Chain A
Amino acid sequence: MENPGGSSLPAFLELQRTRVLCKADAPTHTEGFQYSGAFAAMGVDTSVSVEKFCSNFKIEINRLTEEDMEFDMIGVDASIANAFRRILISEVPTMAIEKVFMVDNTSVIADEVLSHRLGLIPLDADPRLFEYISDDVPNERNTIVYKLHVSCEKGSQRLTVKSGQLEWLPEGSQLTMASPAQSGDNQRTYTSFGQSQQNTSERPLGVKYKDITIARLGPGQAIELEAHAVKGVGKVHAKWSPVATAWYRMLPEVVLLKEIKDGDAEELVKKCPVNVFDIEDLGNGKKRAVVAKPRACTLCRECVRPTDDQVELRRVRDHFIFTIESTGALPPEVLFTEAVKILEEKCERVISELS
């Protein structure tokens, strides 16, 4: 690590400050130095001002697909990285089925279990196009309506109901509330859509994956229902979580404390189940162990067992390998941006509350 403060800390303190050591029995120096003036007496400023942060912060993307991404976030404290992770899991909004209007359910699955299963189906709808529902009035800006009507013919084979059979109703609910008092009245449905949702987004607001099993029907059984999806966040219920999960790990650093040769080298290579080590051929039959793939290290600690005097396992304290697995409503890179935005909004809210 660079130290723009000029004078630097002694090597062992610098190691303690920037690395977590993973010994055979337990990790050490896990807590770090929180206080900015911890080394002020030695004339070393370890504090992270905004400017320092901005100059040191780096992001390197390793993988990016429609569903998931992995990137390295360098130069950031665990508290900040963790805030991003927590927001991704529980505070980035998505759409999910919240209300189910059961017309008919003669399947073996109970209504409440069926509703729960429907709720967990990821929807292909951009939550940014919708509002949170308020006052329990469903309209085209806060609710997506789906219909499921399947039945299994008597005498036929058993039927599997898949998520693809959910049908999007852009015009809103088709179910009428209790029969109108006068015959002339307009039939009231469970939604009050002002206009069609047809043009809300470029794609139809269907489900993300069409092959999720919802239920199985035996001959003579049927399911008829209408499902209303609304916007929500993961901390209310995991079905609104936009990620399957999001996690990070600190960058592993594997250091050979001394030269490991020949038989020992081969033994070390064999020990590691994820092949962190490799053998370098020194010619005339001599071999030496080298660290080839430190990132693969899972911290199983096989290599430091029984003695940890030849290999040291470390973690870089401010380097995070961050992984996001999206459930599909938004691509992972958008999710991350949204998460950071939410953190900013939180700050803004508290600032305005304090003013």
Chain B
Amino acid sequence: MEHGSLTDSSASTFSIMEEDHTLANSVRFVLNQDPRVAFCGYSIPHPADNKVNIRVQTTGDPAKDVMKDALQDLMVMGQHVRGTFDKAVADFKSKMPAEQMDVDVNQQ
């Protein structure tokens, strides 16, 4: 859910249910890399509540778009991490001698 103002779209608080530091801190990092962001931060109002508030203030662009871009970037980073990781695993396994290939019993 987005809490912003009708007149100024450049500053908003995004209230995300069922999320915590995992997403919020990652998004905060990505947002901070965006030159359009003037300020961003997040908080968990109460540890018993299952929600997180992410505050985004931009230099002019709509906060929502910047936020979406950040999430998109994060997804791309995730895909890249996965690709790099899978390749590293494959390389590692191929380098391993055959007798030590007890790694994945599932596929045997």
Contact = CB atoms under 8 A, between A and B. Distances in A.
A315 B93 CA distance: 29
B34 interface: yes
Given A36-B34, A59-B88, A344-B78, A91 B22 contact: yes
Contact of B32 (A36, A76, A336): A36
A354 B3 CA distance: 11
A347 B23 contact: yes
A292 to B, nearest CB: 25
B99 interface: no
Contacts, number: 131
A266 interface: no
Contact of B78 (A61, A340, A351, A353): A340
A336 B29 CA distance: 21
A-side interface size class:
35 or more
Contacts of A57: 77, 80-81, 84
Nearest to A348: B75
A337 B35 contact: no
A331 B103 contact: yes
A80 B77 contact: yes
B105 interface: yes
Contact of A34 (B32, B74, B77): B32
Contacts of B20: 86
Given A36-B33, A50-B76, A355 B68 contact: yes
Interface stretch (A64-72, A93-101, A154-162, A187-195): A64-72
Interface in A303-355: 331, 333, 336-337, 340-341, 343-344, 346-348, 350-351, 353-355
Contacts of B106: 126, 202, 331
B98 to A, nearest CB: 15
B25 A351 contact: no
B50 to A, nearest CB: 10
Nearest to A77: B29
A137 interface: no
A354 B81 contact: no
A201 to B, nearest CB: 9
Contacts of B22: 82-83, 86-87, 91, 343, 346
A319 B16 CA distance: 30
B88 to A, nearest CB: 4
7 closest A-B pairs (Cβ-Cβ)? A79-B29, A61-B92, A79-B25, A347-B71, A59-B88, A344-B78, A83-B26
Given A58-B84, A331-B106, 5 more contacts: A53-B80, A59-B81, A59-B84, A66-B103, A354-B71
